[in-house]
Structure 1
Protein backbone atom coordinates (compact mmCIF):
# COMPACT_ATOMS: atom_id res chain seq x y z
CA UNK A 1 0.00 0.00 0.00
CA UNK A 2 1.27 3.47 -0.89
CA UNK A 3 0.68 6.43 1.34
CA UNK A 4 1.13 10.16 1.52
CA UNK A 5 2.11 11.31 5.01
CA UNK A 6 1.79 15.01 5.84
CA UNK A 7 3.35 16.34 9.06
CA UNK A 8 1.07 19.25 9.85
CA UNK A 9 2.12 22.64 11.23
CA UNK A 10 -0.64 25.10 12.07
CA UNK A 11 -0.87 28.52 10.51
CA UNK A 12 0.53 31.45 12.51
CA UNK A 13 -2.10 33.05 14.70
CA UNK A 14 -4.08 29.86 15.31
CA UNK A 15 -4.01 28.04 18.63
CA UNK A 16 -3.62 24.28 18.50
CA UNK A 17 -7.28 23.89 19.51
CA UNK A 18 -8.44 26.27 16.77
CA UNK A 19 -6.28 24.47 14.23
CA UNK A 20 -7.57 21.06 15.34
CA UNK A 21 -11.20 22.14 15.03
CA UNK A 22 -10.53 23.49 11.52
CA UNK A 23 -8.57 20.39 10.47
CA UNK A 24 -10.94 17.72 11.75
CA UNK A 25 -14.19 19.61 11.35
CA UNK A 26 -13.62 21.45 8.08
CA UNK A 27 -10.81 19.78 6.15
CA UNK A 28 -11.17 16.09 6.95
CA UNK A 29 -14.55 15.73 5.18
CA UNK A 30 -12.89 17.05 2.00
CA UNK A 31 -9.75 14.90 2.32
CA UNK A 32 -11.85 11.73 2.70
CA UNK A 33 -13.07 12.19 -0.87
CA UNK A 34 -9.76 12.92 -2.60
CA UNK A 35 -9.67 10.91 -5.80
CA UNK A 36 -8.12 7.46 -5.37
CA UNK A 37 -7.96 7.51 -1.55
CA UNK A 38 -8.86 4.10 -0.11
CA UNK A 39 -7.90 4.82 3.46
CA UNK A 40 -7.35 7.98 5.48
CA UNK A 41 -5.86 8.37 8.96
CA UNK A 42 -5.55 11.37 11.22
CA UNK A 43 -3.13 11.27 14.15
CA UNK A 44 -3.61 13.85 16.92
CA UNK A 45 -0.72 14.57 19.32
CA UNK A 46 -1.22 13.28 22.83
CA UNK A 47 0.84 16.18 24.19
CA UNK A 48 0.70 19.15 21.78
CA UNK A 49 3.14 21.15 23.92
CA UNK A 50 5.82 18.48 23.48
CA UNK A 51 5.19 17.91 19.76
CA UNK A 52 6.84 19.83 16.95
CA UNK A 53 3.92 19.04 14.64
CA UNK A 54 0.22 19.65 15.19
CA UNK A 55 -0.86 16.37 13.65
CA UNK A 56 -0.28 13.80 10.93
CA UNK A 57 -2.55 13.09 7.97
CA UNK A 58 -2.09 9.84 6.04
CA UNK A 59 -3.73 9.20 2.68
CA UNK A 60 -3.54 5.65 1.31
CA UNK A 61 -3.68 4.64 -2.35
CA UNK A 62 -3.63 1.23 -4.06
CA UNK A 63 -0.90 2.32 -6.49
CA UNK A 64 1.79 4.96 -6.75
CA UNK A 65 0.29 6.10 -10.05
CA UNK A 66 -3.04 6.85 -8.35
CA UNK A 67 -1.25 8.76 -5.59
CA UNK A 68 0.68 10.94 -8.03
CA UNK A 69 -2.40 11.37 -10.22
CA UNK A 70 -4.30 12.78 -7.24
CA UNK A 71 -1.58 14.73 -5.46
CA UNK A 72 0.82 15.75 -8.22
CA UNK A 73 4.52 16.32 -7.63
CA UNK A 74 6.57 13.87 -5.56
CA UNK A 75 8.39 16.78 -3.92
CA UNK A 76 8.82 16.89 -0.16
CA UNK A 77 6.84 20.03 0.68
CA UNK A 78 4.05 21.49 -1.46
CA UNK A 79 2.08 19.91 -4.29
CA UNK A 80 -0.17 21.09 -7.13
CA UNK A 81 -2.98 18.63 -7.83
CA UNK A 82 -5.23 18.84 -10.86
CA UNK A 83 -8.03 16.47 -9.76
CA UNK A 84 -11.14 18.31 -8.57
CA UNK A 85 -11.39 17.24 -4.92
CA UNK A 86 -7.63 17.07 -4.44
CA UNK A 87 -7.32 20.63 -5.74
CA UNK A 88 -10.11 21.73 -3.37
CA UNK A 89 -8.31 20.08 -0.45
CA UNK A 90 -5.03 21.75 -1.42
CA UNK A 91 -6.68 25.18 -1.52
CA UNK A 92 -8.31 24.57 1.85
CA UNK A 93 -5.08 23.80 3.71
CA UNK A 94 -4.00 27.43 3.33
CA UNK A 95 -6.80 28.28 5.78
CA UNK A 96 -5.16 26.50 8.69
CA UNK A 97 -1.69 25.18 7.77
CA UNK A 98 1.76 26.73 7.34
CA UNK A 99 2.36 24.82 4.12
CA UNK A 100 6.04 25.71 3.72
CA UNK A 101 6.73 24.26 7.19
CA UNK A 102 4.84 21.02 6.52
CA UNK A 103 7.07 18.12 5.40
CA UNK A 104 5.36 15.38 3.45
CA UNK A 105 6.52 11.86 2.75
CA UNK A 106 5.47 9.48 -0.01
CA UNK A 107 6.25 5.85 0.64
CA UNK A 108 5.31 2.19 0.47
CA UNK A 109 4.12 0.72 3.75
CA UNK A 110 5.13 -2.75 4.91
CA UNK A 111 3.47 -4.36 7.96
CA UNK A 112 6.31 -5.96 9.91
CA UNK A 113 4.29 -7.35 12.81
CA UNK A 114 0.66 -7.40 13.87
CA UNK A 115 -0.85 -8.65 17.10
CA UNK A 116 -4.13 -6.74 16.85
CA UNK A 117 -6.14 -9.81 15.90
CA UNK A 118 -6.69 -9.22 12.20
CA UNK A 119 -3.48 -9.44 10.22
CA UNK A 120 -5.26 -8.83 6.89
CA UNK A 121 -7.15 -5.70 7.93
CA UNK A 122 -6.23 -2.11 8.60
CA UNK A 123 -9.15 -1.11 10.83
CA UNK A 124 -7.23 -2.46 13.82
CA UNK A 125 -5.28 0.79 14.18
CA UNK A 126 -8.30 2.94 14.99
CA UNK A 127 -7.87 4.35 18.48
CA UNK A 128 -4.35 2.98 18.95
CA UNK A 129 -1.46 5.11 20.18
CA UNK A 130 1.25 5.55 17.60
CA UNK A 131 4.94 6.44 17.75
CA UNK A 132 6.09 7.66 14.33
CA UNK A 133 9.82 8.17 13.80
CA UNK A 134 10.87 10.03 10.66
CA UNK A 135 14.26 8.56 9.93
CA UNK A 136 17.36 10.40 8.71
CA UNK A 137 20.40 8.27 7.92
CA UNK A 138 23.74 8.70 9.63
CA UNK A 139 26.32 10.89 7.92
CA UNK A 140 28.52 8.88 5.59
CA UNK A 141 25.90 6.26 4.76
CA UNK A 142 24.14 5.95 1.44
CA UNK A 143 20.38 5.46 1.43
CA UNK A 144 20.94 1.88 0.28
CA UNK A 145 23.35 1.17 3.14
CA UNK A 146 20.90 2.73 5.60
CA UNK A 147 18.02 0.64 4.28
CA UNK A 148 20.03 -2.60 4.38
CA UNK A 149 20.94 -2.00 8.03
CA UNK A 150 17.44 -0.89 8.99
CA UNK A 151 15.82 -3.96 7.43
CA UNK A 152 18.35 -6.60 8.45
CA UNK A 153 19.57 -5.40 11.86
CA UNK A 154 17.14 -2.95 13.43
CA UNK A 155 13.70 -4.10 12.34
CA UNK A 156 14.03 -7.49 14.10
CA UNK A 157 14.73 -5.59 17.33
CA UNK A 158 11.89 -3.11 16.87
CA UNK A 159 9.36 -5.90 16.29
CA UNK A 160 9.96 -7.10 19.86
CA UNK A 161 9.85 -3.77 21.70
CA UNK A 162 7.76 -4.22 24.82
CA UNK A 163 4.07 -3.42 24.31
CA UNK A 164 4.16 -3.09 20.51
CA UNK A 165 1.01 -4.52 18.91
CA UNK A 166 1.66 -3.44 15.34
CA UNK A 167 4.76 -2.20 13.52
CA UNK A 168 5.05 -0.64 10.06
CA UNK A 169 8.07 0.44 8.07
CA UNK A 170 7.52 2.92 5.24
CA UNK A 171 10.08 3.18 2.45
CA UNK A 172 10.33 6.30 0.27
CA UNK A 173 9.28 5.71 -3.31
CA UNK A 174 11.73 8.40 -4.45
CA UNK A 175 14.59 8.73 -1.91
CA UNK A 176 16.16 11.60 -3.85
CA UNK A 177 12.99 13.71 -3.46
CA UNK A 178 12.41 12.81 0.19
CA UNK A 179 13.51 14.62 3.34
CA UNK A 180 13.47 11.35 5.25
CA UNK A 181 14.98 7.94 4.57
CA UNK A 182 11.96 6.13 5.98
CA UNK A 183 9.28 6.11 8.64
CA UNK A 184 9.00 3.63 11.50
CA UNK A 185 5.54 3.32 13.07
CA UNK A 186 5.04 1.55 16.39
CA UNK A 187 1.50 1.01 17.71
CA UNK A 188 0.49 0.47 21.35
CA UNK A 189 -2.83 -0.28 23.02
CA UNK A 190 -2.42 2.51 25.56
CA UNK A 191 -0.39 5.66 26.07
CA UNK A 192 0.98 4.18 29.28
CA UNK A 193 2.31 1.19 27.31
CA UNK A 194 3.97 3.54 24.83
CA UNK A 195 5.61 5.73 27.47
CA UNK A 196 6.61 2.67 29.50
CA UNK A 197 8.47 1.30 26.49
CA UNK A 198 9.84 4.47 24.91
CA UNK A 199 10.21 6.89 27.78
CA UNK A 200 9.98 10.65 27.34
CA UNK A 201 7.19 12.16 25.24
CA UNK A 202 9.69 14.65 23.77
CA UNK A 203 9.85 15.23 20.03
CA UNK A 204 13.37 13.99 19.25
CA UNK A 205 15.34 11.55 21.39
CA UNK A 206 14.13 9.20 24.11
CA UNK A 207 15.64 7.16 26.94
CA UNK A 208 13.80 3.86 27.40
CA UNK A 209 14.33 1.58 30.38
CA UNK A 210 12.68 -1.59 29.08
CA UNK A 211 15.21 -4.20 27.89
CA UNK A 212 14.38 -4.54 24.20
CA UNK A 213 13.42 -0.90 23.80
CA UNK A 214 16.75 0.15 25.31
CA UNK A 215 18.59 -2.23 23.00
CA UNK A 216 16.75 -0.78 19.99
CA UNK A 217 17.56 2.78 21.12
CA UNK A 218 21.25 1.94 21.40
CA UNK A 219 21.18 0.38 17.94
CA UNK A 220 19.80 3.47 16.18
CA UNK A 221 23.12 5.24 16.71
CA UNK A 222 24.61 2.77 14.22
CA UNK A 223 22.57 4.06 11.28
CA UNK A 224 20.54 7.17 12.23
CA UNK A 225 21.28 10.85 12.78
CA UNK A 226 19.15 10.90 15.93
CA UNK A 227 19.16 14.68 16.43
CA UNK A 228 17.72 15.11 12.92
CA UNK A 229 14.98 12.51 13.38
CA UNK A 230 11.61 13.97 14.38
CA UNK A 231 9.29 11.64 16.23
CA UNK A 232 5.61 12.08 16.88
CA UNK A 233 3.38 10.50 19.53
CA UNK A 234 -0.34 10.56 18.85
CA UNK A 235 -3.63 8.73 18.79
CA UNK A 236 -4.79 7.48 15.42
CA UNK A 237 -8.31 7.69 14.01
CA UNK A 238 -9.26 5.83 10.85
CA UNK A 239 -11.40 8.41 9.05
CA UNK A 240 -12.03 6.29 5.94
CA UNK A 241 -11.44 2.68 4.94
CA UNK A 242 -12.64 1.10 1.70
CA UNK A 243 -9.88 -1.49 1.50
CA UNK A 244 -10.83 -5.13 1.21
CA UNK A 245 -7.64 -6.26 2.95
CA UNK A 246 -4.42 -4.86 4.33
CA UNK A 247 -0.83 -5.58 3.57
CA UNK A 248 2.34 -3.86 2.56
Structure 2
Protein backbone atom coordinates (compact mmCIF):
# COMPACT_ATOMS: atom_id res chain seq x y z
CA UNK A 1 0.00 0.00 0.00
CA UNK A 2 1.36 3.41 -0.99
CA UNK A 3 0.91 6.28 1.40
CA UNK A 4 1.05 10.08 1.23
CA UNK A 5 1.67 11.74 4.59
CA UNK A 6 1.18 15.51 4.76
CA UNK A 7 2.61 17.25 7.83
CA UNK A 8 0.22 20.16 8.11
CA UNK A 9 1.14 23.72 9.05
CA UNK A 10 -1.58 26.35 9.31
CA UNK A 11 -1.40 29.73 7.66
CA UNK A 12 -0.18 32.69 9.69
CA UNK A 13 -2.99 34.58 11.36
CA UNK A 14 -5.06 31.41 11.79
CA UNK A 15 -5.54 29.81 15.19
CA UNK A 16 -5.10 26.07 15.62
CA UNK A 17 -8.83 25.79 16.35
CA UNK A 18 -9.77 27.62 13.15
CA UNK A 19 -7.37 25.44 11.21
CA UNK A 20 -8.82 22.22 12.61
CA UNK A 21 -12.37 23.37 11.91
CA UNK A 22 -11.62 24.00 8.23
CA UNK A 23 -9.50 20.89 7.85
CA UNK A 24 -11.99 18.50 9.41
CA UNK A 25 -15.25 20.03 8.16
CA UNK A 26 -14.38 21.57 4.80
CA UNK A 27 -11.28 19.86 3.43
CA UNK A 28 -11.56 16.28 4.70
CA UNK A 29 -14.94 15.60 2.98
CA UNK A 30 -13.25 16.52 -0.29
CA UNK A 31 -9.89 14.80 0.25
CA UNK A 32 -11.39 11.48 1.32
CA UNK A 33 -13.01 11.15 -2.11
CA UNK A 34 -9.92 11.94 -4.19
CA UNK A 35 -9.71 9.53 -7.10
CA UNK A 36 -7.76 6.41 -6.08
CA UNK A 37 -7.86 6.96 -2.30
CA UNK A 38 -8.72 3.69 -0.52
CA UNK A 39 -8.01 4.81 3.03
CA UNK A 40 -7.91 8.25 4.62
CA UNK A 41 -7.04 9.15 8.18
CA UNK A 42 -6.26 12.32 10.10
CA UNK A 43 -4.12 12.67 13.20
CA UNK A 44 -4.76 15.54 15.60
CA UNK A 45 -2.10 16.57 18.12
CA UNK A 46 -2.58 15.54 21.73
CA UNK A 47 -0.76 18.71 22.83
CA UNK A 48 -1.22 21.40 20.14
CA UNK A 49 0.83 24.05 21.96
CA UNK A 50 3.97 21.89 21.88
CA UNK A 51 3.39 19.97 18.66
CA UNK A 52 5.75 20.49 15.74
CA UNK A 53 2.83 20.47 13.29
CA UNK A 54 -0.90 21.17 13.39
CA UNK A 55 -1.86 17.69 12.22
CA UNK A 56 -1.19 14.85 9.81
CA UNK A 57 -3.29 13.88 6.81
CA UNK A 58 -2.62 10.36 5.52
CA UNK A 59 -3.96 9.09 2.21
CA UNK A 60 -3.47 5.52 0.97
CA UNK A 61 -3.47 4.31 -2.64
CA UNK A 62 -3.10 0.86 -4.15
CA UNK A 63 -1.51 2.31 -7.29
CA UNK A 64 1.48 4.65 -7.09
CA UNK A 65 0.63 6.36 -10.38
CA UNK A 66 -2.82 7.24 -8.98
CA UNK A 67 -1.10 8.83 -5.97
CA UNK A 68 1.21 10.88 -8.19
CA UNK A 69 -1.69 11.96 -10.41
CA UNK A 70 -3.66 13.19 -7.40
CA UNK A 71 -0.97 14.59 -5.09
CA UNK A 72 2.19 15.03 -7.09
CA UNK A 73 5.49 13.18 -6.87
CA UNK A 74 8.18 13.40 -4.15
CA UNK A 75 9.80 16.81 -4.15
CA UNK A 76 6.91 18.53 -5.96
CA UNK A 77 4.81 21.15 -4.19
CA UNK A 78 3.16 23.04 -7.02
CA UNK A 79 1.35 20.02 -8.46
CA UNK A 80 -1.67 20.53 -10.70
CA UNK A 81 -4.01 17.50 -10.71
CA UNK A 82 -6.38 17.13 -13.64
CA UNK A 83 -9.04 14.89 -12.11
CA UNK A 84 -12.05 16.67 -10.62
CA UNK A 85 -11.90 15.86 -6.90
CA UNK A 86 -8.11 15.97 -6.65
CA UNK A 87 -8.15 19.38 -8.35
CA UNK A 88 -10.83 20.63 -5.93
CA UNK A 89 -8.79 19.44 -2.93
CA UNK A 90 -5.67 21.15 -4.29
CA UNK A 91 -7.55 24.44 -4.66
CA UNK A 92 -8.81 24.22 -1.08
CA UNK A 93 -5.30 23.63 0.30
CA UNK A 94 -4.56 27.31 -0.30
CA UNK A 95 -7.45 28.28 1.99
CA UNK A 96 -5.88 26.99 5.20
CA UNK A 97 -2.38 25.52 4.75
CA UNK A 98 1.05 27.11 4.54
CA UNK A 99 2.12 24.95 1.61
CA UNK A 100 5.75 26.08 1.59
CA UNK A 101 6.25 25.06 5.23
CA UNK A 102 4.37 21.78 4.96
CA UNK A 103 6.71 18.78 4.62
CA UNK A 104 5.30 15.64 3.02
CA UNK A 105 6.33 12.07 2.43
CA UNK A 106 5.40 9.41 -0.10
CA UNK A 107 6.28 5.82 0.69
CA UNK A 108 5.29 2.18 0.86
CA UNK A 109 3.97 0.96 4.19
CA UNK A 110 5.28 -2.22 5.81
CA UNK A 111 3.26 -3.42 8.81
CA UNK A 112 5.71 -4.90 11.29
CA UNK A 113 3.25 -5.65 14.09
CA UNK A 114 -0.53 -5.45 14.36
CA UNK A 115 -2.54 -6.47 17.41
CA UNK A 116 -5.59 -4.41 16.41
CA UNK A 117 -6.33 -5.93 13.00
CA UNK A 118 -5.80 -2.62 11.24
CA UNK A 119 -8.38 -0.77 13.37
CA UNK A 120 -6.41 2.33 14.34
CA UNK A 121 -9.37 4.64 14.91
CA UNK A 122 -8.92 6.41 18.25
CA UNK A 123 -5.42 5.08 18.91
CA UNK A 124 -2.54 7.31 19.94
CA UNK A 125 0.29 7.41 17.44
CA UNK A 126 3.91 8.49 17.52
CA UNK A 127 5.13 9.30 14.01
CA UNK A 128 8.89 9.74 13.68
CA UNK A 129 10.07 11.29 10.41
CA UNK A 130 13.52 9.80 10.15
CA UNK A 131 16.71 11.47 8.97
CA UNK A 132 19.90 9.41 8.70
CA UNK A 133 23.24 10.37 10.16
CA UNK A 134 25.57 12.26 7.81
CA UNK A 135 28.08 9.42 7.38
CA UNK A 136 25.44 6.87 6.29
CA UNK A 137 24.00 6.13 2.88
CA UNK A 138 20.24 5.72 2.59
CA UNK A 139 20.76 2.00 1.97
CA UNK A 140 22.89 1.62 5.12
CA UNK A 141 20.29 3.53 7.08
CA UNK A 142 17.44 1.31 5.87
CA UNK A 143 19.44 -1.86 6.61
CA UNK A 144 20.03 -0.81 10.22
CA UNK A 145 16.52 0.52 10.71
CA UNK A 146 14.72 -2.52 9.35
CA UNK A 147 17.03 -5.27 10.62
CA UNK A 148 18.46 -3.92 13.87
CA UNK A 149 16.12 -1.24 15.22
CA UNK A 150 12.66 -2.41 14.17
CA UNK A 151 12.83 -5.77 16.02
CA UNK A 152 13.47 -3.77 19.20
CA UNK A 153 11.01 -0.92 18.66
CA UNK A 154 8.01 -3.09 17.81
CA UNK A 155 8.35 -4.81 21.21
CA UNK A 156 8.29 -1.60 23.25
CA UNK A 157 5.83 -1.93 26.13
CA UNK A 158 2.39 -0.70 25.08
CA UNK A 159 2.93 -0.79 21.31
CA UNK A 160 -0.08 -2.47 19.67
CA UNK A 161 0.79 -1.65 16.07
CA UNK A 162 4.06 -0.76 14.41
CA UNK A 163 4.59 0.21 10.79
CA UNK A 164 7.52 1.49 8.78
CA UNK A 165 7.15 3.55 5.61
CA UNK A 166 9.99 3.49 3.07
CA UNK A 167 10.28 6.23 0.45
CA UNK A 168 9.34 5.30 -3.10
CA UNK A 169 11.89 7.82 -4.40
CA UNK A 170 14.68 8.20 -1.79
CA UNK A 171 16.65 10.76 -3.78
CA UNK A 172 13.76 13.23 -3.78
CA UNK A 173 12.15 12.34 -0.44
CA UNK A 174 12.21 14.85 2.41
CA UNK A 175 12.92 12.07 4.92
CA UNK A 176 14.61 8.66 4.88
CA UNK A 177 11.50 6.98 6.26
CA UNK A 178 8.66 7.14 8.76
CA UNK A 179 8.23 4.97 11.85
CA UNK A 180 4.69 4.75 13.27
CA UNK A 181 4.08 3.36 16.74
CA UNK A 182 0.51 3.00 17.99
CA UNK A 183 -0.60 2.85 21.64
CA UNK A 184 -3.96 2.49 23.34
CA UNK A 185 -2.63 4.37 26.39
CA UNK A 186 -1.13 7.86 26.00
CA UNK A 187 0.85 7.61 29.24
CA UNK A 188 2.60 4.48 27.96
CA UNK A 189 3.49 6.35 24.79
CA UNK A 190 4.98 9.21 26.80
CA UNK A 191 6.87 6.79 29.06
CA UNK A 192 8.43 5.05 26.09
CA UNK A 193 9.01 7.88 23.62
CA UNK A 194 8.71 11.17 25.49
CA UNK A 195 6.07 13.86 25.20
CA UNK A 196 5.50 16.51 22.54
CA UNK A 197 8.43 18.87 22.18
CA UNK A 198 10.86 16.56 24.02
CA UNK A 199 13.85 15.11 22.17
CA UNK A 200 16.20 14.10 24.98
CA UNK A 201 13.80 11.60 26.54
CA UNK A 202 15.32 8.89 28.72
CA UNK A 203 13.20 5.77 29.24
CA UNK A 204 14.55 3.70 32.10
CA UNK A 205 13.48 0.15 31.32
CA UNK A 206 12.98 -2.63 28.83
CA UNK A 207 12.74 -2.32 25.08
CA UNK A 208 12.05 1.42 25.27
CA UNK A 209 15.47 1.97 26.85
CA UNK A 210 17.13 -0.36 24.33
CA UNK A 211 15.43 1.37 21.41
CA UNK A 212 16.43 4.84 22.67
CA UNK A 213 20.05 3.76 22.95
CA UNK A 214 20.01 2.37 19.42
CA UNK A 215 18.55 5.59 17.96
CA UNK A 216 21.98 7.20 18.33
CA UNK A 217 23.50 4.54 16.06
CA UNK A 218 21.71 5.66 12.90
CA UNK A 219 19.47 8.73 13.34
CA UNK A 220 20.21 12.44 13.28
CA UNK A 221 17.91 13.00 16.24
CA UNK A 222 17.93 16.81 16.19
CA UNK A 223 16.87 16.85 12.53
CA UNK A 224 14.08 14.33 12.95
CA UNK A 225 10.60 15.86 13.23
CA UNK A 226 8.07 13.87 15.19
CA UNK A 227 4.41 14.07 15.96
CA UNK A 228 2.19 12.63 18.67
CA UNK A 229 -1.52 12.56 18.01
CA UNK A 230 -4.76 10.65 18.08
CA UNK A 231 -5.83 9.03 14.85
CA UNK A 232 -9.27 9.37 13.30
CA UNK A 233 -10.12 6.91 10.55
CA UNK A 234 -12.27 8.71 7.99
CA UNK A 235 -12.42 6.17 5.17
CA UNK A 236 -11.31 2.58 4.73
CA UNK A 237 -11.92 0.52 1.61
CA UNK A 238 -8.89 -1.71 2.05
CA UNK A 239 -10.80 -4.65 3.51
CA UNK A 240 -8.68 -4.75 6.68
Match of 1:111 in 2: 111
Gaps of 5+ in 1: none
Match of 1:46 in 2: 46
Match of 1:181 in 2: 176
Give the secondary structure class of the aligned counterpart of 2:218.
Answer: coil
1:132 aligns with 2:124: no
Cα drift, residue 103 of structure 1: 0.6
Q: Return the match for 1:239 from 209, 234, 240.
A: 234
Cα drift, residue 199 of structure 1: 2.5
- Give the alignment's TM-score, normalised by structure 1: 0.93
Name whichever of 32-41 and 206-215 sits farther off: 206-215
Cα drift, residue 20 of structure 1: 0.4
Could you say what the CA RMSD is over the residues aligned between the two structures, in angstroms?
1.2
**Conserved? CA contact 1:76–1:105, under 8 Å:** no
Cα drift, residue 111 of structure 1: 0.3
Q: 1:66-98 deviations in whole A, cap 9, x for unaligned?
A: 211222333254432221111110110111110
Give the secondary structure class of the aligned counterpart of 1:150.
Answer: helix
Query: Structure 2: how far apart are the matches of 1:17 and 1:153?
Result: 40
1:199 aligns with 2:191: no
**Conserved? CA contact 2:159–2:183, under 8 Å:** yes
**Conserved? CA contact 2:125–2:228, under 8 Å:** yes
Give the secondary structure class of the aligned counterpart of 2:29.
Answer: helix
Cα drift, residue 196 of structure 1: 2.1
Q: Structure 1 residues 205 and 82, CA, compared in 2 at 3 Å: closer, same or farther?
A: farther
Name whichever of 1-10 and 76-85 sits farther off: 76-85
Q: Structure 1 residues 100 and 204, CA, compared in 2 at 3 Å: closer, same or farther?
A: farther
**Conserved? CA contact 1:3–1:108, under 8 Å:** yes
Match of 1:21 in 2: 21
- Give the alignment's TM-score, normalised by structure 2: 0.96
Q: 1:88-133 deviations in whole A, cap 9, x for unaligned?
A: 10110111110000011000000000112x2xxx3x1000000000
Match of 1:166 in 2: 161
Query: Structure 1: how far apart are the matches of 2:103 and 2:78?
Result: 8
Query: Structure 1: how far apart are the matches of 2:163 and 2:214?
Result: 18
Cα drift, residue 157 of structure 1: 0.5
Q: Return the match for 1:223 from 218, 221, 231.
A: 218
Give the secondary structure class of the aligned counterpart of 1:202.
Answer: coil
Match of 2:208 in 1: 213
